[in-house]
Amino acid sequence: MSDTIRITIDQTTVQAAAGSTILQAAREAGISIPTICYHDHCTANGLCRICVVEVEGARTLQPACVVQIRDGMVIHTRSERVIRSRRTIFELLASTVDLSESPEIQAMIHEYHADVYRYPDAETRLPAVIDDNPMYIRDYAKCILCWRCVQVCAEDAQYTYAINFSGRGYETQISTFYEIPMPESTCVFCGQCVGVCPTGALKPKRQWLLEMGYTPDEIMNLTRSQRQRRKRREEISANPS
Ligand code: SF4
Ligand code: FES
């Protein structure tokens, strides 16, 4: 049996396994903390900050998905400061990202009474949809930069390293190296990135075309001809003469 330590969460003192994160300990105690970038099967990197909690004695709010519990820790998961911080994050996200296909985030925006119009002069990110392969499309207007896709493409699952961050600040986007088309990258089209994407930024090509009104036969023709073009490109580059 693992060692346990005593912590207090929202005025309730509980025993939790040593080495747990605040998020894990809270879940064990039946206390819910909202998350966005966190995924049970991905390495947590504390990127979105929606899971922040107040820890007595700590100067700043602490991301519950990465901070480990310490003996005697006193944690407040829904203090006024925590709620205000989460609400602001939702408002900033909504001001730049298309969250129309993120029902879980929308539900949280509603729960936290976030004002999605708080920053009317904010510049919405509107990169064009990238449709460069027969398997999936990339619509980074919907990307919240949670990094899940990068992680499953790397050490969390596939060890393929086809994608990573590119750009800085407002221009940051997930990209292949040198922004080459996906079929020319190391991508093996395993689909794991699509499976962990929480916002519809990555979507199976078939689903995307169905949503646009194409019939299954039309989709078959469209994606088949893309596959044929790709095969032809590979043949030419293998034998340029
Ligand atoms: S494409 Fe999806 S999984 Fe990847 S960083 Fe953006 S939102 Fe996250
Ligand atoms: S869920 Fe913890 S930082 Fe995103």
DSSP string, 147-200: -HHHHHHTTTTT----EEEES-GGG-EEEEGGG--GGGSS-----HHHHH-SSS
Give the mean pLDDT of 74-103.
97
pLDDT in tens, 116-163: 999 999 999 999 999 999 899 999 999 999 999 999 999 999 999 999
* pLDDT of 226 over the 70 cut: no
Q: Which CATH architecture has domain 4-78?
A: Roll (3.10)
Give the mean pLDDT of 24-49.
96
Q: Is the CB of 46 under 6 A from ligand 2?
A: yes
* pLDDT of 181 over the 90 cut: yes
Q: Which ligand is nearest to the CA of 22?
A: 2
**Of residues 234 and 5, which shows the higher confidence score?**
5
Q: What is the pLDDT of residue 224?
A: 75
Q: Is the CB of 174 under 6 A from ligand 1?
A: yes
The number of the ligand 2 atom at minimal distance from the alpha carbon of 37 is 4
Give the mean pLDDT of 2-26.
95
End-to-end distance of the chain based on CA atoms, in angstroms?
Answer: 67
| Least confident range of 138-147, 170-179, 186-195, 212-221 | 212-221
The number of the ligand 2 atom at minimal distance from the alpha carbon of 66 is 2
Distance 150 CA to ligand 1 centre (A): 8
The number of the ligand 2 atom at minimal distance from the alpha carbon of 35 is 1
173 burial type by CB count under 10 A (0-12 exposed, 13-18 middle, 19+ buried): middle
* 67 band by pLDDT with thresholds 50, 70 and 90: very high
Q: Is the CB of 38 under 6 A from ligand 2?
A: yes
Q: Is the CB of 144 under 6 A from ligand 1?
A: yes
Distance 88 CA to ligand 2 centre (A): 14
Q: What is the residue extent of each domain of the chain? A: 4-78, 136-238
* pLDDT of 1 over the 60 cut: no
Are 12 and 29 in contact by the 8 Å Cβ rule? The answer is yes
Are 143 and 165 in contact by the 8 Å Cβ rule? The answer is no
Q: What is the pLDDT of residue 72?
A: 96
Q: How many residues does the chain have?
A: 241
Distance 198 CA to ligand 1 centre (A): 7
Question: What percentage of the chain exceeds 70 in pLDDT?
Answer: 93
Nearest CA to ligand 2 atom 1: 35
pLDDT in tens, 91-109: 999 999 999 999 999 999 9
Q: What is the pLDDT of residue 156?
A: 96
* pLDDT of 41 over the 70 cut: yes
* 2 band by pLDDT with thresholds 50, 70 and 90: low
Q: Which CATH architecture has domain 136-238?
A: 2-Layer Sandwich (3.30)
Q: What is the pLDDT of residue 219?
A: 85
Nearest CA to ligand 2 atom 3: 46
Residue 120, H or E segment: none
d(CA 44, CA 37): 8
Amino acid, res. 141? A
Q: Is the CB of 9 under 6 A from ligand 1?
A: no
* 239 band by pLDDT with thresholds 50, 70 and 90: confident
